[in-house]
Amino acid sequence: MTIYSFWIFDKHCNCIYDREWTLLANPKSGTTNSKQNDDISKLLYGIIFSLRSVTGKLSSTETGRTNEISSISTGRFRIHTYCTATGLWFVLLTDFKPFNYSKVLQHIYSDIFVKYITNNYLSPYDFAQSEGEKRGQGTRKITNRHFKNNLELFLEPMISS
Amino acid sequence: MSRQQSINSSQTPTPTTAQSPLSRSLKATGEEVWKRTEKINAELFTLTYGAIVSQLCTDYGRDFVKINEQLYQMGYSIGVRLIEDFLARTALPRCQGMQETSEALSKCAFKVFLNITPRVTNWSSGKDAFSLIIDDNPLSDFVELPMDAMEQLWYSNVLCGVLKGALEMVQLDCDVFFVSDILRGDQQTELRVKLNKILKDEIPIGED
């Protein structure tokens, strides 16, 4: 399994964290919270957003349950998503080999995000601080050192194995 | 009350959180998560809360309306963060309707964080408001309100704020308030949750 990049979107449609690895041999390579990835993050958000509304409409109404997307695959790679009820999206781009990354994303949410961002009262719980930063127009990112270090440590073994 | 660290972050991930809560009842989910949660001394918690309320009483010169407000505000700030912790532990999806919300609250949320299961009653005709009857409120163990406070103080008002904040984060705009409290000489402690409206998820600019 190989992972290419990792993204977090908040409920205001903003990308609040992005991490892209460029050299598979070097887990320290690549960019974090890069400006250059702004457009890509918007496209990625759009793909998932559209597919979510499609699958929402296609799901049977009997159970009354929303039909969440777990992964989207293309010829070259796969997009894995984990969405929480509070509207956070955790997105991981990997190679196309089938592997269930939902546990990985759930772990990132419950043991890294909640621990270092939510339970950290000095970090904002909502990254949009004004009306003008909502609806995909915000630019604030997670810069917390603990969060970053622990995330790197956790994902490192998966970059090229 | 911190979560049990069941796996080390540097290892390959193994199952941690409850799977597919849809297939099991909310009650079972609540109990299972409670079993996995690290426990702390309830008295320590009760006394800590007591210290906070009494400090507020001093700070606000026994202006109980202000104290209620302040407790509510504190609860709100706790709730907006606590919801993430709750969802991380239970992996519950959004609730379909208030009926399910009430069960998730009483059987999962209260169970996981306070180990109590309030009764759900007094449904409004439109099914958009319900009451939680809290029989064994851990916040108010050992508490007897002084005469001047009995009239106005809602001792456990922090709970209202927590519910308000947490529900708002899952797009349910609710009013949450106490109707009665044993501490004030009422028959039972009743917490009312009333849905105002379901908030809409935001969509990126230009999508509509």
Confidence of residue A157 (pLDDT cuts 50, 70, 90): confident
Scanning chain B, the segments in alpha helix (DSSP H) are: 26-36, 42-59, 64-90, 97-103, 110-114, 147-152, 157-169
Assess if residue B204 is contained within a domain: no
Tally of structural domains, chain B = 1
Q: What is the pLDDT of residue B21?
A: 43
Kindly report the number of other CB atoms within 10 A of residue B38's CB atom. Answer: 9
pLDDT reading at B167 higher than 50 = yes
Residues 6+ apart with CB under 8 A from B3: A110, A111, A115, B37, B38, B85, B88, B89
Q: What is the pLDDT of residue B141?
A: 84
Lowest mean pLDDT among A24-28, A67-71, B26-30, B165-169: A24-28
**Quick check: B13 and A64 CB within 8 A?**
no
Q: Span B92-103, mean pLDDT? A: 86
Assess if residue B153 is contained within a domain: yes
Q: What is the pLDDT of residue B77?
A: 93
pLDDT reading at A2 higher than 90 = no
Q: Give strand pairing partners of B120.
A: B132
Position with higher pLDDT, B170 vs B17: B170
Assess if residue B207 is contained within a domain: no
Q: What is the distance in angstroms between the Cα of B59 and the nearest Cα belonging to chain A?
A: 23
Cβ-count burial of A131 within 10 angstroms (0-12 exposed, 13-18 middle, 19+ buried)? exposed
Q: What is the pLDDT of residue A66?
A: 64
Token output for B102: 């009430």
Assess if residue B5 is contained within a domain: no
CATH number of the domain that residue B183 is part of: 3.30.1380.20
Tally of structural domains, chain A = 1
Q: Span A135-144, mean pLDDT? A: 83
3 state SS of B86: helix
Confidence of residue B5 (pLDDT cuts 50, 70, 90): very low
The domain of B80 spans 21-32+40-198
Q: What is the distance in angstroms between the Cα of B170 and the nearest Cα belonging to chain A?
A: 5
Q: What is the distance in angstroms between the Cα of B152 and the nearest Cα belonging to chain A?
A: 31
Interface test with A, best of B83, B87, B172 (most A CBs within 10 A): B87
Instruction: Look at residues A77, A84, A15, A5 and name the one whose alpha carbon lies nearest to residue A46.
Output: A15
Cβ-count burial of A21 within 10 angstroms (0-12 exposed, 13-18 middle, 19+ buried)? buried
Q: What percent of chain B has pLDDT over 90?
A: 39
pLDDT reading at A105 higher than 50 = yes
CATH number of the domain that residue A61 is part of: 3.30.450.70
Could you tell me which chain A residue has the CA closest to the CA of B15? Answer: A103
The domain of A28 spans 3-158
Mean pLDDT value across chain B: 83
Assess if residue B144 is contained within a domain: yes
Q: Span B46-51, mean pLDDT? A: 92
Could you tell me which chain B residue has the CA closest to the CA of A131? Answer: B202
Q: What percent of chain A has pLDDT over 90?
A: 15
